[in-house]
Amino acid sequence: MATVELDDIKKRFGATEVIKGVSVDVADGEFIVIVGPSGCGKSTLLRMVAGLETISDGELRINGTRANEREPMDRDIAMVFQNYALYPHMSVAQNMGYGLRIKGLPKAEIAAKVRDAAELLQLTELLDRKPRQLSGGQRQRVAMGRAIVREPSVFLFDEPLSNLDAKLRVQMRLEIRELQAKLGITSLYVTHDQVEAMTMADRMIVMNEGRAEQIGTPLDVYERPESLFAAQFIGSPSMNVVAAEGREDGLHLGDMVLPNPTGAHGTVMLGLRPEHLSPDPGGPITMEVLLAEPLGANTLLHGRLANGQSFTVSLPGVHRAGHGSQTLRLSIPPDKMHVFDKKSGRRLG
Amino acid sequence: MEKRVTFKGWLLPLCLIAPQVFISAVFFFYPAGQAVWQSLFIPDPFGLSSQFVGLENFEYLLGDPYYRASFVTTAIFSTLVTLAAMIPALFLAVMADRLVKSAGVYRTLLIWPYAVAPAVAGVLWLFMFNTRVGVIAWYLGQLGYDWNHVLNEGEAMGLVVVASAWGRISYNFLFFFAALQAVPRSIIEAAAIDGARFWRRFFTIVLPLLSPTTFFLLVVNIVYAFFETFGVIHTITSGGPQQATTILVYKVFSDGFVGQDLGSSAAQSVILLIVVGLLTVLQFKYIEKRVHY
Amino acid sequence: MATEITGMVEKRGMGLWLTHVAMITGVLVIFFPIWLAFVASTVSQPEIVQPPMPVWPGDKFLENYTAALVSGVNVPVAVMLGNSLIMAVGIAVGKIIISLLSAFAIVYFRFPGRNFFFWLIFITLMLPVEVRIVPTYEVIAGFGMLNSYSGLIFPLIASATATFLFRQFFLTVPDELAEAARVDGARPMRFFWDILLPMSRTNIAALFVILFIYGWNQYLWPLLITTDPSMNTIVMGIKQMFPSGDDVADWPVIMATSILAMVPPVVVVISMQKLFIRGLVDSEK
């Protein structure tokens, strides 16, 4: 069992800084999801923890001791790769036991450990197969098995589900979380999928352009996004962001006037989640509906505001928007309004 | 293309690469350097010392009618070998490509002359055209044609060309066949629907699609004719009659080992090096080109 | 579906038969020299020197082949076969080993001089042995390696082609495998041995076929450095069996030797046809 501390970790490739100082303390047994768009540096960060990339600056501590210079094998970690990285010429059992074989464990002990892990993952039937004879989901399990067998202090996952189809992804998401809870192993999990991040994380790190935009529990990030980026990245459909003018009497969007919960002045960015808006004949927001997407449980209405900005609303149940243009009036509780500084994108208030 | 992952350390990789570098240095670079060096000297008649003569060896060579003749001979020889090896191969490949089911059988039957060494091919063809016992020479005699490649320069050239091209047909066939199989069926079908008949389809669609392969084989066959046909010539004609089949590589050998003229042989080696260099550049041009395909 | 496709592009009836006829003619023409050599190796000398020779095999098969293998002309052909085998296997195995190691170093390490060595190896592509025979001969003579297996093998071992083939292949091996191996605790040589080598099996086998034939079919080099008949390889030894001057050659034995010289590479090519074709196409890329 282990803690992992990242202390102002930086990564430079030549003159370009790709990780610009990330700090986080991961508690023992915690499941941390690092989430962000491609190119944000999330994989690089994970690979630095694994020891596959050198750390340019800052300190990595595993269990309180500095690990920057340690080889991957000496960090007591296990990693699950995006394409599983199974050795194609080895059987499932050999794949899972390879790390132990290198450690020089006796054959019988390796076999026993492999068997236990296989049972846990329902792989017992497949132990003699080669990776190419397995389905995507099975390969995924073998990659997990290989990580478990080593009994590491830390699990590292690098987008492990991105090669699976949507249905399997949901199933494996649950399995991984269950397994991690059962084994209680500290985990770092990289994904670009905000749904995975929301559903799996104890805490998540929202990364953008080499920086941690926000670190917190999924609900924290959802309810109180610290930056415009985090606000838009987390949540589906994505948050509406519109420019507004803060005055004494409220926030002005063209002719519309909304409450000003933070008392901001000047131009600010106003964030409104589509699911927090509700139809209200006397509401301050006027939207012209152009397209309705009925999803069954709810309906997405896409359209634009009077000032021409595009806008999305999510309404529960089936909402029959008429053909052609239709005007809808909406309101939102002030505590669900997010106001950001226009320049820095940081949250105000 | 580079690996993202690398292992640390410099001693281990140096040790790993050392055997190849060592062998290349001793058996490639040192001899090649020697060739360049020797080409600048003329040894005295007793081989005791040698005198620096600068580019005189080259001047002499380029003025030497025999060497110039050898250049012409090489050009004729390699052109003929290339044509004789590629055209039948292309024809057979096109035929085999039409036979969807039995193509594999024909391929098996056709590939194995590739395994026959050029020198052995030389012996086989020499046997057929031997002036005393050769079957074909005998039948030609019955038809009133007096075959004698030992005396007739044209016949000697013809024989070494055929013997050199023979095994290469298999090689070229394999590449043409593979390229033909790789032509998307849908393109052929589209052309067929457009009403193009077989040979018209072949010349307007298939042949242009084969051009990368054809160009590649052209270079490879020229290299083969230049450098790998020594065995054929040595077994059949030994460069004769009257040097009619003395190609450049054969001349390096006969001047260097038989004539013991080291300076001239070395200068010839250097000229060959330049020829190989040019051919290699051509080959790489091709590779570059293919990347864009 | 399949019948539609063949119906569209494959000839039927007359056209199909003509195609077969063309193919069979081609095969027969290609085969004819070998057939004739085989016939000559099964008949007696008088039947050959009195043209035209027969076109069907005679009854002297055992006699001629035994004569060739046991006594030969200058040296028993069995000895030459042995020399050829050692040379061909030596060249193939040697090339594969040094190429695997150097390709591994070039692909998986960053070390000082890496680019320099890479180009050094690359340039050897341009130096066929035929071009540098005299100085190379002098090097071998200087080492006292004339008439030796090492003299036959070493100068032909360093080849950029094999190194490039392996480099090409290693570059297609997913990065994650090396990373997984590192996380599993494998040091570089362990990774090479446990993972890279087993994954290269088909490439190694395909290359072996090509290199075996390359080594077996060498002519000029053995001709230069083996002056002792007992070191002759079979491909170069055939020419030595022809008498100098006006004596009549012992055709049945020479033809039996020619057939024997073809058998090993032909067997290798036919039995490993798929690998061979793959190796051929890959090595020329």
pLDDT in tens, B211-267: 888 888 888 898 889 888 999 999 998 887 888 999 998 998 888 887 777 778 888
Residue B8 clears pLDDT 90, i.e. is over it: no
pLDDT value at residue C8: 43
Is C182 close to A51, i.e. CB distance below 8 A? yes
A172-210 pLDDT tens trace:
999 999 999 999 999 999 999 999 999 999 999 999 999
The tokens for C187 are: 């040091």
pLDDT value at residue C22: 87
The tokens for C279 are: 């190796």
Could you tell me the end-to-end alpha-carbon distance of chain C, in angstroms, rounded to an integer? 34
Tell me, yes or no, whether B42 lies in a domain. no
In sign, the C-alpha dihedral spanning A335, A341, A342, A344 is: negative
Tell me, yes or no, whether B29 lies in a domain. no
- Pure H helices in chain C: 2-9, 13-40, 45-49, 61-66, 77-108, 114-123, 133-142, 149-153, 160-172, 175-183, 188-191, 197-199, 201-216, 220-225, 234-240, 251-271, 273-283
Q: Which residue has the tokens 């890279």?
A: C196
Q: A237 or A349: whose pLDDT is higher? A: A237
- Cα A346 to chain centroid distance, Å, stands at 20
Question: How many other CB atoms sit within 10 Å of the CB of residue A34?
Answer: 28
pLDDT value at residue C248: 79
Average pLDDT over residues C58-82: 88
With H, G, I as helix, E, B as strand and everything else as coil, classify residue A287.
Answer: strand
What is the DSSP pairing of strand A186-191 with strand A154-158? parallel
- Separation between Cα atoms, residue C279 and residue C269, nearest integer Å: 11
pLDDT value at residue B16: 94
Tell me, yes or no, whether B43 lies in a domain. no
**Residue B249, domain CATH:** 1.10.3720.10
Q: Is B286 on the interface with C (CB under 8 A)?
A: no
Is residue C80 within 8 A of residue C248, CB to CB? The reply is no
- Separation between Cα atoms, residue B18 and residue A306, nearest integer Å: 74
Residue A325 clears pLDDT 80, i.e. is over it: no
Q: Is B105 on the interface with C (CB under 8 A)?
A: no
Is residue A237 within 8 A of residue A224, CB to CB? The reply is no
Res. A324 pLDDT band, cuts 50 70 90: low
Tell me, yes or no, whether B224 lies in a domain. yes
- C-alpha neighbours within 13 Å on the C-beta side of residue B59: 7
Amino acid making up residue C112: P
Chain A: list its partners (3+ Cβ pairs within 8 Å).
C
pLDDT value at residue A242: 92
Res. C4 pLDDT band, cuts 50 70 90: very low
Q: Which of residues 227-256 of B touch C (CB under 8 A)?
A: 227-228, 230-231, 234-235, 249, 252-253, 256
What residues of C are in contact with residue A89 (Cβ under 8 Å)? Answer: 195, 198-199, 201
Q: Is C38 on the interface with B (CB under 8 A)?
A: no
Is residue A41 within 8 A of residue A158, CB to CB? The reply is no
- Separation between Cα atoms, residue C209 and residue A29, nearest integer Å: 55
Is A81 close to C201, i.e. CB distance below 8 A? no
Res. A236 pLDDT band, cuts 50 70 90: confident
Residue A148 clears pLDDT 80, i.e. is over it: yes
Helix or strand holding residue A42 (H, E): helix A42-50
Question: How many other CB atoms sit within 10 Å of the CB of residue C274?
Answer: 9
* Angstroms from B76 CA to nearest CA on chain C: 20
pLDDT value at residue B78: 94
The tokens for A79 are: 């990693």
Question: Which residues, at least 6 apart from B78, have a Cβ–Cβ distance to it below 8 Å?
Answer: B221, B222, B225, B226, B247
- In this structure, what DSSP letter does residue C249 have? P
Give the residue from chain C lying closest to B24, CA to CA. Answer: C158
- Separation between Cα atoms, residue A344 and residue B130, nearest integer Å: 93
Interface size between B and C, measured as CB pairs under 8 A? 306
Is residue B10 within 8 A of residue C109, CB to CB? The reply is yes
Average pLDDT over residues C85-105: 95
- Separation between Cα atoms, residue A15 and residue B2, nearest integer Å: 20
Longest CA pairwise span in chain B (Å) = 78
Tell me, yes or no, whether B146 lies in a domain. yes
Give the residue from chain A lying closest to C174, CA to CA. Answer: A85
Nearest Cα neighbor of A35 from A203, A167, A166 is A203
pLDDT value at residue B45: 66
What residues of C are in contact with residue A71 (Cβ under 8 Å)? Answer: 182
- Separation between Cα atoms, residue B180 and residue B140, nearest integer Å: 38
Chain B: list its partners (3+ Cβ pairs within 8 Å).
C
Q: Which of C184, C194, C197 to substitute to test the interface with A, most A CBs within 10 Å?
A: C184
- Separation between Cα atoms, residue A344 and residue A268, nearest integer Å: 10
Instruction: Find the CB nearest C126 among B9, B25, B276.
Output: B276
- Separation between Cα atoms, residue C183 and residue C170, nearest integer Å: 19
Q: Is C186 on the interface with A (CB under 8 A)?
A: yes
What residues of C are in contact with residue B99 (Cβ under 8 Å)? Answer: 10, 16, 19-20, 23
- Pure H helices in chain B: 11-24, 30-38, 56-63, 65-98, 103-111, 118-129, 135-142, 153-182, 185-193, 198-201, 207-227, 230-236, 248-253, 262-292
Is residue C83 within 8 A of residue C231, CB to CB? The reply is yes
C-alpha distance from residue A120 to each of A162, A175, A179, A184 (Å): 23, 11, 9, 14
Is residue A313 within 8 A of residue A328, CB to CB? The reply is yes
The tokens for A268 are: 């600010």
Q: Please provide the DSSP assignment of A177-244 as one string.
A: HHHHHHHT-EEEEEES-HHHHHHH-SEEEEEETTEEEEEE-HHHHHHS-SBHHHHHHSSSSPPEEEEE
Is C185 close to A73, i.e. CB distance below 8 A? yes
What residues of B are in contact with residue C97 (Cβ under 8 Å)? Answer: 19
Residue C11 clears pLDDT 70, i.e. is over it: no
The tokens for A336 are: 């669900």
What residues of B are in contact with residue C277 (Cβ under 8 Å)? Answer: 111, 174, 178
Tell me, yes or no, whether B31 lies in a domain. no
Average pLDDT along chain A? 91
pLDDT value at residue A321: 59
- In this structure, what DSSP letter does residue C109 have? B
Angle at B73 between CA B70 and CA B75, to 5 degrees: 110
What residues of A are in contact with residue C185 (Cβ under 8 Å)? Answer: 72-73, 99, 102-103
Tell me, yes or no, whether B15 lies in a domain. no
Average pLDDT over residues C34-44: 91
Residue C163 clears pLDDT 60, i.e. is over it: yes
Nearest Cα neighbor of A276 from A285, A288, A266, A263 is A285
Helix or strand holding residue A116 (H, E): helix A107-120
With H, G, I as helix, E, B as strand and everything else as coil, classify residue A158.
Answer: strand
Average pLDDT over residues C76-86: 94
What residues of C are in contact with residue A81 (Cβ under 8 Å)? Answer: 176, 179-180
- In this structure, what DSSP letter does residue A127 have? T
Q: Is C163 on the interface with B (CB under 8 A)?
A: yes
Q: B99 or A279: whose pLDDT is higher? A: A279
**Among B5-14, B45-54, C57-66, C200-209, whose mean pLDDT is lowest?**
B45-54
Our count of domains for chain B comes to: 1
Question: How many other CB atoms sit within 10 Å of the CB of residue B204?
Answer: 11
What is the DSSP pairing of strand B50-52 with strand B41-43? antiparallel
- Pure H helices in C41-108: 45-49, 61-66, 77-108
Residue B120 clears pLDDT 60, i.e. is over it: yes
- Separation between Cα atoms, residue B73 and residue B75, nearest integer Å: 5
The tokens for A150 are: 């080593």
Range of the domain at B251: 63-290
- Separation between Cα atoms, residue B26 and residue A76, nearest integer Å: 47
Is B119 close to C238, i.e. CB distance below 8 A? yes
- Cα A254 to chain centroid distance, Å, stands at 35
pLDDT value at residue A281: 86
Is residue A135 within 8 A of residue A84, CB to CB? The reply is no
Most confident residue range from A290-294, B158-162, B288-292: B158-162
Tell me, yes or no, whether B167 lies in a domain. yes
What is the DSSP pairing of strand A298-305 with strand A310-316? antiparallel
- Separation between Cα atoms, residue A323 and residue A227, nearest integer Å: 37
Q: Please provide the DSSP assignment of A231-274 as one string.
A: HHHSSSSPPEEEEEEEETTEEEETTEEE--TT---EEEEEEE-G
